[in-house]
């Protein structure tokens, strides 16, 4: 569903106003943009949190969610706040590192709770990193810290903020599955009815509840047949 189409009246903007029974003066496009972007944020955050195997990304982004950074000698902590287009990185999903042979290999994710020694003693001798601990959504600590600097030595994979709508958008569609597009209309109409205290609010409240349940159903864990894996503690081999 396109954001706006004044000819067919089938865009999100037009359909939201139909549900509200208002015109553009009563509920301008700026308000619909705000509602749609809030709904985008909810979908992306829900998708990230509901299933770690589902690498949700807004399809309107023109570059893949992959970046590179320099490995710095004796530096343990690395932050990845935005991608190459300025989108906010919400979650890191994988870290690869360039080894001396010129090939990238995957670092092993680890958590402080898995380390059975004092953190300062774990892999304390500088060398090629083996593990990484995600100490925030977009900040990692590598173990051991690198002994040498390597240009482009880190390749990181991530999930990021969506491609937001602006008031001048027309043919742009939400960068999520088509089955989720109706939610943008309902969310926009619901927000407007709530703000303006419109008589259609009760009906839109029911629609909003239905749409939210459909979102939950869509993002259900897709790999429920996977066996649970016991967590192991890691101790330094050095």
Encode pLDDT of 169-197 as tens digits. Answer: 999 999 999 999 999 999 999 999 999 99
Q: Is the pLDDT of residue 53 over 90?
A: no
Q: Are the C-beta atoms of 9 and 18 separated by less than 8 Å?
A: yes
Could you tell me the pLDDT band of residue 8, with boundaries at 50, 70 and 90? Answer: very high
Q: Taken in order 69, 72, 78, 81, is the CA torsion positive or negative?
A: negative
Q: How many other CB atoms sit within 10 Å of the CB of residue 189? A: 29
Could you tell me the pLDDT band of residue 235, with boundaries at 50, 70 and 90? Answer: low
How many whole angstroms separate alpha carbon 76 and alpha carbon 126?
10
- Span 87-102, mean pLDDT? 95
How is the chain split among helix, strand and coil, in percent rounded to 5?
30, 20, 50
CA angle 9, 11, 17 (to 5 degrees): 70
Distances (CA, A) of 58 to 15, 23, 64, 167: 22, 30, 10, 19
Strands 108-110 and 131-136: parallel
How many whole angstroms separate alpha carbon 84 and alpha carbon 140?
18
Query: Alpha helix (H) ranges present in the chain?
Result: 12-20, 29-50, 182-196, 201-218
Q: In the prediction, which pLDDT does 224 show?
A: 52
Extract the tokens encoding 176.
């999520």
Q: Is the pLDDT of residue 227 over 90?
A: no
CA angle 41, 200, 178 (to 5 degrees): 40
Extract the tokens encoding 9.
């009246």
What average pLDDT is seen over the chain?
92
- Span 195-215, mean pLDDT? 97
Which residues pair with residue 77 across a beta bridge?
141
Q: In the prediction, which pLDDT does 1 show?
A: 97
Backbone angles phi, psi at 121, to 5 degrees: -100, -10
């Amino acid at each position: 569903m396109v954001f706006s189409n004044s000819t067919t009246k089938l865009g999100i903007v037009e359909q939201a106003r139909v549900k509200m029974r208002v015109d553009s003066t009563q509920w301008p496009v700026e308000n619909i943009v705000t509602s749609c972007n809030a709904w985008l944020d909810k979908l992306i955050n829900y998708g990230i949190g509901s299933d770690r195997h589902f690498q949700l990304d807004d399809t309107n982004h023109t570059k893949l969610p992959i970046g590179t950074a320099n490995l710095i000698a004796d530096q343990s902590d690395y932050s990845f706040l935005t991608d190459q287009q300025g989108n906010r990185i919400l979650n890191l999903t994988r870290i690869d590192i360039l080894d001396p042979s010129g090939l990238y290999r995957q670092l092993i994710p680890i958590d402080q709770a898995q380390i059975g020694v004092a953190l300062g003693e774990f892999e304390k001798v500088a060398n090629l990193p083996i593990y990484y601990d995600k100490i925030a959504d977009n900040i990692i600590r590598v173990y051991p810290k690198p002994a040498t600097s390597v240009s482009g030595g880190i390749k990181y994979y991530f999930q990021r903020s969506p491609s937001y709508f602006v008031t001048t958008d027309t043919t742009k569609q939400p960068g999520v599955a088509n089955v989720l597009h109706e939610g943008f209309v309902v969310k926009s109409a619901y927000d407007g009815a709530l703000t303006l205290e419109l008589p259609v609010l009760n009906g839109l409240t029911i629609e909003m509840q239905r749409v939210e349940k459909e979102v939950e159903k869509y993002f259900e864990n897709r790999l429920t047949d996977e066996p649970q894996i016991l967590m192991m503690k890691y101790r330094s081999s050095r």
